[in-house]
Amino acid sequence: MKKNIITIVVILGALALIAFTLNKNKAENKAKTDIVAEKNAAVSVKTAQVKTEDVSLDFLANGNFEPIQELTFSAEKSGKVISVLVKEGDYVNVGQTLVIVRSDVINVNAQTAKATYDNAKSDYDRYENAYKSGGVTKQQLDQAKLALTNAGNNLKQANINVGDTKVKAPIKGFINKKYIEPGSILAGMPATAMFDIVNVSKLKLKVTVNESQVASLKLGNTINITSSVFPDKSFAGKITFIAAKADESLNFPVELEIENNADKSLKAGMYGTANFGSKQKLQLKVVPRNAFVGSVSSNEVFVVENGIAKLKKVVSGRIIGEQVEIVDGLSDGETVIITGQINLQDGNTVEIIK
């Protein structure tokens, strides 16, 4: 009985070993077949020709309009709001009274300071006349003068406090948001926000340009600007800022200032387009931008030679819209691959899709 059990175990083990070996050989054969199929399979791609042509150096850059000035106007001192003289959407000028704060105590303090100053002035005048006749000492006159100076400083501060009961606009612009109502309590620390004021008499358009484009720009250049909201209107913009350093995406921020029209139709936050038109054309050797593997900065493209994809190193130049200048590495008439690179390796067979 024991001998039979051993025999059965040996047979089962042998069968298991045979099955394992067959499966392993099958997997290896499949892998080899897949490799052969992969090598022999043609990758479908689209191509374009390298060519030298007249290329316009004009380009567009998009951005959003921003106000020339914007301010969240906060209370400098504490107090209770008696009246608010403006509403959201109102246009205000510098120095215009926006809010009146309760002034009972402040007015009483100012009256007291004025009376104290008047008394100190009378005392000083009297002491000054008496000193001339020898009626008081120099020390007494100096004390009267000090008292007059202190009273004058207190009166100035009291008058400033009276002025602060009428809160005035520090910049001109529209009241974009109002945070207070009559009865609101203003705090000086931390300051209570009262209004958002935006000045859109002029606007800023912030855009970014690449390194080849920024080289042709200068401060003060006049640029034609359009808005998608007003396609039949154009605005003159002036370059007021060109970044000295590229941002994280290797583009250069540029700011343009635009005079708004009389009815202030351009609003902050609208979408704008700057048309950098030089009216210059150059003979450049170019390829489509999507010919580059990964990105233009990789300086690698696939070319097709006798049905085979060859990876080439090139030197790229200016980016003009969807085309890129080729400084070195390609010749006119060569065929570059513009789609399908993700499936390619150097030496793959390709099938060109017309």
- pLDDT tens sequence across 71-96: 999 987 777 888 999 999 999 999 99
Same domain? 291 vs 256: no
Whether 242 is in a domain gets the answer yes
The two tokens of residue 341 are: 């690179």
- Contact between 225 and 270 under an 8 Å Cβ cutoff? The reply is no
Same domain? 266 vs 339: no
Same domain? 207 vs 233: yes
Whether 32 is in a domain gets the answer no
pLDDT at 32: 47
- Contact between 236 and 274 under an 8 Å Cβ cutoff? The reply is no
User: Which of 276, 300, 331 is a domain's end point?
Assistant: 276
Same domain? 47 vs 81: no
pLDDT at 37: 44
Whether 10 is in a domain gets the answer no
Same domain? 189 vs 205: no
Q: What H or E segment, with its residue span, contains residue 227?
A: strand 222-227
Same domain? 212 vs 105: no
CA neighbor of 115 nearest in space, from 155, 61, 142, 82: 155
Q: For 274-321, how does the pLDDT look when each residue is reduced to its tens digit (9 = 90+)?
A: 998 766 777 889 999 999 998 888 899 999 999 999 999 999 887 777
Residue 153's domain comprises: 75-194
Whether 133 is in a domain gets the answer yes
> How many whole angstroms separate alpha carbon 19 and alpha carbon 15?
6
Same domain? 170 vs 215: no
pLDDT at 80: 84
> In sequence order, what are the residues at sequence separation of 6 or more whose Cβ sits closer than 8 angstroms to the Cβ of residue 253?
206, 207, 208, 241, 243, 247
Same domain? 209 vs 258: yes
Same domain? 142 vs 110: yes
Q: For 17-62, how does the pLDDT look when each residue is reduced to its tens digit (9 = 90+)?
A: 666 665 665 556 555 445 434 445 789 999 999 999 888 777 888 9
Whether 297 is in a domain gets the answer yes
User: Which of 276, 310, 331 is a domain's end point?
Assistant: 276
Q: Exposed, middle or buried by CB within 10 Å (0-12, 13-18, 19+), for 75?
A: buried
Helix/strand/coil (H/E/C) assignment for every residue in 229-243:
CEEEEEEEEEEEEEC
User: Which of 250, 276, 302 is a domain's end point?
Assistant: 276
Q: How many angstroms separate the Cα of 2 from the Cα of each of 5, 10, 12, 13, 323?
A: 5, 13, 16, 17, 83
> In sequence order, what are the residues at sequence separation of 6 or more whose Cβ sits closer than 8 angstroms to the Cβ of residue 2?
none
Same domain? 287 vs 252: no
Whether 115 is in a domain gets the answer yes
Return the higher-pLDDT residue of 265 and 5: 265
Phi, psi (deg, nearest 5) at residue 288: -60, 145
Number of domains in the chain: 3
pLDDT at 258: 93
> How many whole angstroms separate alpha carbon 231 and alpha carbon 233?
6
Q: What CATH number corresponds to the domain at position 326? A: 2.40.420.20
Same domain? 85 vs 51: no
Whether 270 is in a domain gets the answer yes
Question: What one-character DSSP code corresponds to residue 292?
Answer: B
Q: For 133-176, how does the pLDDT look when each residue is reduced to its tens digit (9 = 90+)?
A: 777 788 887 888 888 888 788 877 766 666 567 888 999 999 99
CA neighbor of 214 nearest in space, from 238, 237, 246: 246
Q: Which residues are bridge partners to 71 per DSSP?
A: 197
Q: What CATH number corresponds to the domain at position 105? A: 1.10.287.470
285 φ/ψ sector (left φ>0, alpha ψ -120 to 50, else beta): beta
pLDDT at 36: 38
Q: What CATH number corresponds to the domain at position 260? A: 2.40.30.170
Same domain? 184 vs 84: yes
Whether 80 is in a domain gets the answer yes
Instruction: Render the burial of 264-278: b for 16+ CB within 10 Å, e for the rest.
Output: eebebebebebebee
